[in-house]
Structure 1
């Protein structure tokens, strides 16, 4: 049976190309063409063309007139800026999540939405712990993003969640590029962050998240310096 054509702008092809870039299956600097990607994903060229436009706007693809498209390289300067933005946004989410936990404890009335988000976050942490212990580092980038999104969900701020969603793809890409160097250490820092949130320790949760992101930034940029 012939495959149904994807509509222009449909997220499937875009997300698949993005994930292959994040995983390194489409290597930084590699030339990519609409025809080759259409064949790779069993699609027509129209949705691939739309996907490449979006991915170029997101910074995953570089497209130049008459030169075609290439997978973007992770620029250390831009990465440093991204880590700085992450530090500001995510330290705020950790603080807000802990404050929400503290208010809940003081009122003595459980918030069903908070606890459901907390349950899912616990499952993400358990999955990451198992993957790190078994050496399945390739699954940690997606789980890492799930952890940080989970903290934002606990914060209960639509604005902070929206900001994190805008950064999500680049966060996963940076983590994936560094997972072989700092993957296990970075993952192990998540539980103390969540413990501070659970305890309602806003100052500690914010400080631990800030240190966590600063450590990732230092690890990533030190490889370029070397």
Structure 2
């Protein structure tokens, strides 16, 4: 997972925290996997101290569970919290898109954007191009990370430290849900980013806000409906054709 577009080089703890989180989100460390400081230190080529600090932070974020004398394990995907997470993100992202558009309008009316704005905007352009290429190549597995980077980039454009920090706190869990079901809506959802970016560039705060809200709401509705379908799937053995209950003895 990438650090903030404007944050510079992360600390060792932040770097390994991002890498562990990334590996959890994309299934390299599946739910239920037992993890230790020593194994992670060897895996990421770092000392145990930043790994220990990273695990504590990831426990607060909900990616890791730790129990006394039992060690740490990767948490389950937060399906039960999905509705609330999406609701919070919808409000946050609508606000960041609105602020980003207003800032763009102010930048251009002042004679031209500053260097920081241009750096972030160029990074977003590159992310959109990468995502379009991934879609064209059928590489949907690349979209969750690019999606994270796009949405955090819009937050960077808004230059709201509070909104960006709040978004960072929940973005990982949202992308965990996204990555677990990216084949269903990933391509259609990705195409919506260009319209949001166009509204921001035009300084149209209302269109940017509405576009982002609709974008996140569409993801929310789609993912929740699919998770409900999975929860509603039969949990008991199928009956044989004769109508007698299946023998479930070992």
Q: Shorter-chain TM-score category?
A: 0.7 to 0.9
Q: Counterpart in 1 of 2:75? A: 72
Which position in structure 2 is the counterpart of 1:58? 61
Q: Which structure dedicates a bigger proportion of its chain to helix?
A: 1
1:109 to 89, 106, 111: 111
1:82 equivalenced with 2:85 (yes/no) = yes
191-200 or 61-70, larger mean C-alpha shift: 61-70
The CA deviation string for residues 48-67 of structure 1, in whole angstroms up to 9 with x for no partner, is 43332221111001122344
Structure 2 residue aligned with 1:11: 14
Q: Does 2:206 correspond to 1:192?
A: no
Q: Secondary structure at the match of 2:66?
A: strand
Distance 1:12 1:63 in 2: 21
The CA distance in 2 between the partners of 1:156 and 1:44, in whole Å, is 34
More displaced 10-residue stretch of structure 1: 49-58 or 164-173: 164-173
Aligned residues: 218
Alpha-carbon offset, residue 87 of structure 1: 0.9
Question: Displacement of 1:210 after TM fit?
Answer: 0.6
Q: Deviations over 1:107-129 (max 9, x none)?
A: 36112233332222111111111
Secondary structure, counterpart of 2:77 in structure 1: coil
The Cα RMSD (Å) is 2.3
Structure 1, residues 58-90: CA drift from partner, whole Å, max 9, x if none? 100112234432211122232222111111111
Q: Conserved in 2, the CA contact under 8 Å of 1:145 and 1:171? A: no
Tell me: CA distance 1:195–1:53, structure 2 relative to 1, closer, same or farther (3 Å).
same
Once the two structures are superposed, the pairs formed by residues 138-153 of structure 1 within 5 Å of their partners are 138-153=141-156
Normalised by the length of structure 2, the TM-score is 0.78
Q: Normalised by the size of structure 1, how large is the TM-score?
A: 0.85
CA deviation vs aligned residue, 1:164-215 (integer Å, no higher than 9, x gap): 2333322332322221221111111100111111222211111110111111
Q: Distance in 2 between matches of 1:139 and 1:38?
A: 26
* Change beyond 3 A, Cα 1:37–1:100: closer
Where does the alignment leave 5 or more consecutive residues of structure 2 unmatched? 1-11, 230-250
Structure 1 residue aligned with 2:226: 223
Name 1:3's counterpart in structure 2: none
- Deviation of the 1:220 alpha carbon: 1.9
* 1:5-41 per-position Cα deviation (integer Å, ceiling 9, x unaligned): xxxx733433322221011011112233344434444
Report how far residue 216 of structure 1 moved.
1.3
Larger radius of gyration: 2
- Secondary structure, aligned partner of 2:30: coil
Which residue of 2 is the match for residue 100 of structure 1? 103
Q: Which ranges in structure 1 are unaligned for 5 or more consecutive residues?
A: 1-8
